[in-house]
A and B are shown apart, each in its own frame.
Chain A
């Protein structure tokens, strides 16, 4: 069960109407290493992982939804009131044809989100290494988005999100350490 708090994890400000930037940001909305894939991956892995790290997956999976909401707000604000012509110029003419201004779970190239993005091997070490890789890939995506963006207000939010990916990667690395720990074994030297 979840409790919803009706505010964003970090305030989202947008400097200008910029549908082109929104098109790039969609990568983190419905892309392979995006926030939706991350949230669903972690929450799904909870059922087949040792008890000690279930709570971590719940916490991080939940936070990914908060990030998803931030990205959605960015995309929404960057495209709000954009005319069909502006959408066309931004390379979003095909998006407009199908969705008008609605958000859709797809990557920056318009490829729809698929459950195939979610890794669930059932092996705790394999899954946690997958999670570490997912966080590093999301961190890299935020770097490239900051490189592409000329909106200082958006970059501020993207930097916050990138920092969170670093922390998540750190916690997953610690989770691996917990699972491989030999504390309970009797060691004879």
Chain B
């Protein structure tokens, strides 16, 4: 029974990783840029979640607004941060991205103060018996449900809509997509909107689970999400999702069984190193 409980906790954590990693892997697929500043948007989402909920009393409204606002901030970050340096080597964009990420932590500190902020009355804290004695808070159940709905929606978008099909085409061969009449710029803006909105959703969920947000809450997710998209095979959406869930579960079991040897957050990298020794292009890349 303990194993099932650990597994469930791992999947919950993995769902959050998946929401963060999705935007990162999409941006990499389209632009070949490691968008480290993505984690700043996760933090911003967390802050907006707490502040809007505290102001309005509605977590649902907070989630919706956080996703929309952060989505637009993501689009702006593409326009202001990456667009002017697209023709430069990817390393330039990576350095710019790291710079923005570090600066954003300070901006959060200046605007929201150096200390953590919590929900005035934390929503969804009732414990529910989900499976013969395994108790989960409503918040945890919501994390899994939300991730499931968003990722399902994303899959529908990618498979069934013209925008989704054109996006997948642009990832493979942007020049040919353009010659087919796809405005690749529009695609990029859409992807930044969706990816950033998902990161915001993850931020709200984490703020709910921990009942706090702080300026540095994006630090650990930023490097872990990088490890995840490398594991999943850079640019692969399916790979990133599976790698997210795997990492969540491995961390969950690892903390119990190797907790005295390795810190939880270093497990991601131990796992990354191990996998890359066997499959240098990630778990899910062909060939």
Q: Do A and B come from one complex?
A: no
